[in-house]
């Protein structure tokens, strides 16, 4: 049971802030879903393909990883939820 709990906590930490992860741990029914008003951020790097055409694959990956890491930390700092990464897009 402890290993299952730790595995779930690790999974939650990838998508949720520590505050939200703790709320889910204390109140698991939060994952059942409910109807609420939310704000959604769709972020796509304008001109990414054009900018990376003249960049090495290694440099492009460093740049996109740094950019998405920074954006992800901002989302998590505001107790947001990371849903998906698609190329240079954060949802």
Give the model confidence (pLDDT) of 1-39 as tens digits: 677 767 777 777 777 888 888 888 888 888 888 888 888
0.85 exceeded by pTM:
no
Three-state DSSP class for residue 10: helix
Give the model confidence (pLDDT) of 53-83 as tens digits: 888 989 988 988 898 899 888 888 888 888 8
Residue 87, sorted as left (phi over 0), alpha (psi -120 to 50) or beta, turns out to be left
Cα Rg for the chain, rounded, in angstroms?
A: 16
């Amino acid at each position: 049971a402890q290993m299952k709990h730790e595995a779930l906590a690790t999974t939650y930490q990838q998508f949720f802030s520590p505050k939200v992860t703790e709320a889910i741990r204390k109140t698991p029914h939060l994952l059942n879903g409910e109807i609420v008003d939310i704000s959604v951020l769709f972020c796509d790097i304008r001109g990414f393909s054009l900018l990376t055409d003249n960049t090495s694959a290694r440099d492009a990956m460093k740049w996109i990883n740094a950019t998405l890491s920074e954006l992800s930390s901002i989302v998590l700092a505001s107790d947001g939820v990371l849903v998906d990464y698609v190329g240079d897009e954060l949802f």
